[in-house]
Amino acid sequence: MTDNSTDRAFGGSIPLLYETNLVPLIFEPYARDLARTLAARPLSNVLEVAAGTGVVTRALDALLPDHVAMTATDLNQSMLDQAATRSFDHDVKWQQADAMQLPFGDASFDAVVCQFGVMFFPERSKAYSEMLRVLRPGGRLVFNVWDRIEENEFAQAVSRALEQVFPADPPRFLERTPHGYHDHGLIARDLSQAGFSAVPEFRTMAARSRAASAQIAAIAYCQGTPLRNEIEARDSSRLIEATDRAAQEIARRFGSGEVDGKIQAHIVVVTC
């Protein structure tokens, strides 16, 4: 019954819940890491793809020199609207854009960055080819992807909880999309098919995911991501029940107070 197109729908209350709950829970350490990776080289013009609510944009804003031009794009205008509510030192250009049809000229940027976005692209090689097209010779594509769900403890706990709520047809968004694109060989083949000739560099980074309560972590996943769309497609009246069940499973595994779980991702760097 799942329409996988809902995996890319970040509408309604999702952007605010995503920014308030999910960003501090799992995204911030990886955003800082991507920003440091980019800032290690001289830059003049950076494109961010799938910028979401701007966590990487903010990290770049804090590290990059004032002269660096920054453009941040996302498929969902609602996510960019949420991102733009924050203040920035740089004059960030926000633009709605499809990663598979970037509205920029050839060789426009000396770096492209994408945090946890490539997993959502329906045709990844096509998106990579667009990123290659807009990169200048010698430019770099830097992105990250989540490791398998077994290495990401809160996500796994939420998924197991939803199997209990919907045993006949459990939502599989987390396994299918955020945690479904972690194989280094597949990523390298997709980049090669897109036209990248250089061998990509891979680095695995483990971090800790912390929340003041299991309920906050459950809300982040069940209501602040497209997992919500899958839950409501099954029975919209059971969203709170599903969230509470997820919170109970997180609390069972990690305690009833502040919770702390492992997260893990792969960072990919490739030069054109």
Q: Delimit the domains of the chain by residue range.
A: 4-271
Least confident of 12-26, 46-60, 107-121: 12-26
Is residue 211 scored above 70 in pLDDT? yes
> What local confidence, expressed as pLDDT, does residue 4 receive?
65
Among candidates 91, 55, 248, which has minimal Cα distance to 240? Answer: 248
Its pTM stands at 0.94
Confidence tier at 249 by pLDDT (50, 70, 90) = very high
For the 4-271 domain, the top CATH level (class) is alpha beta
Q: Give residue-wise pLDDT tens across range 76-100.
A: 999 999 999 999 999 999 999 999 9
**Signed CA dihedral, 260, 172, 99, 128: sign only:** positive
Is residue 3 scored above 50 in pLDDT? no
Is residue 143 scored above 80 in pLDDT? yes
Q: Give residue-wise pLDDT tens across range 157-199.
A: 999 999 999 999 999 999 999 999 999 999 999 999 999 999 9
Residue keyed to tokens 């990248």:
196
> What local confidence, expressed as pLDDT, does residue 176 receive?
96
Residue keyed to tokens 């919170």:
247
In the three-class reduction of DSSP (H, G, I as helix; E, B as strand; rest coil), residue 208 is classed as strand
> What local confidence, expressed as pLDDT, does residue 63 receive?
96
